[in-house]
């Protein structure tokens, strides 16, 4: 007597798809892409890493356009007047197609004059700093690099302004930004250096004011902004 065999469901083996990731490496010092390729390959091979490289290629990341600050402009000069005046007296601020290579960003009011922050096309950055100043109307004005570190006036943290503070509803110390009332503040402490020490064991000096220009966290913010900026061809070529 024949017996029917029970139906057996055969399932295909589960093959887990391995995720592929893209890693961007930014060198601290100048080096060629071939140098970086060899270092990455050696690091993975020497450690018998399970990671496998499918492709290594050079990526040209466009940095942030550099900014300068133009000093000592009269308070009655507005944005349009300044832009037209600079264009009329500094021909290198336009390309051969008469397209502007600069942009007026915002003013910083002082007591008697106004300083203006200006974005430069990276192609003319070196050229501009080869000039003794920028001419506007009948005078020549000094300028300098502008490294604008965003710092909140409420929590004293970097990376955002007071308008976008995630802790805007909290009552924080008006001296140091920590979680106590201003009148209870016994010692001014830099909240950024304090947090960095807690999270990363940085060993920073916390005895400075949060707005101190010698604050180690502030200086690191400046270094990062400079590193991310595109200052154009080191040779100064505008091609």
| Cβ burial 109-125 (10 Å sphere, 16+ → b, else e) | eeeeebbbbbebbbbbb
pLDDT at 111: 87
Low-confidence ranges of the chain (pLDDT < 70): 1-37, 40-62, 234-239
Burial of residue 186, with CB atoms counted within 10 A of its CB: 0-12 exposed, 13-18 middle, 19 or more buried: exposed
pLDDT at 217: 95
pLDDT at 44: 62
pLDDT at 63: 78
pLDDT at 7: 56
pLDDT at 19: 60
pLDDT at 187: 87
**Nearest of 146, 95, 92 to residue 118 by alpha carbon:** 146
pLDDT at 51: 62
pLDDT at 22: 65
pLDDT at 175: 83
pLDDT at 85: 97
pLDDT at 154: 92
């Amino acid at each position: 007597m024949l017996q029917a065999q029970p139906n057996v469901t055969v399932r295909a083996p589960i093959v887990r798809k391995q995720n592929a990731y893209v890693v961007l490496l930014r060198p601290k010092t100048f080096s060629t892409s071939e140098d970086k390729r060899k270092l990455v390959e050696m690091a993975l091979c020497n450690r018998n890493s399970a990671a496998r490289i499918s492709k290594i290629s050079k990526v040209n990341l466009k940095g942030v356009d550099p900014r300068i600050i133009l000093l000592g402009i009269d308070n009655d000069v507005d944005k349009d007047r300044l832009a037209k005046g600079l264009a009329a007296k500094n021909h290198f601020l336009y390309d051969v197609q008469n397209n502007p290579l600069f942009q007026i960003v915002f003013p910083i009011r002082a007591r008697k004059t106004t300083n203006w922050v200006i974005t430069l096309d990276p192609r003319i950055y070196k050229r501009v700093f080869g000039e003794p100043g920028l001419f506007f109307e009948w005078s020549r004005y000094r300028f300098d690099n502008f490294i604008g570190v965003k710092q909140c006036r409420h929590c004293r943290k970097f990376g955002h302004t007071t308008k976008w503070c995630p802790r805007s509803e909290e009552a924080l110390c008006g001296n140091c930004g920590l979680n106590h009332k201003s009148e209870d503040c016994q010692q001014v402490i830099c909240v950024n250096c304090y947090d960095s020490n807690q999270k990363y064991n940085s060993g920073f000096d916390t005895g400075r004011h949060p707005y101190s220009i010698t604050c180690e966290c502030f200086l690191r913010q400046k270094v990062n902004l400079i590193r991310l900026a595109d200052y154009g061809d080191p040779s100064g070529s505008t091609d």
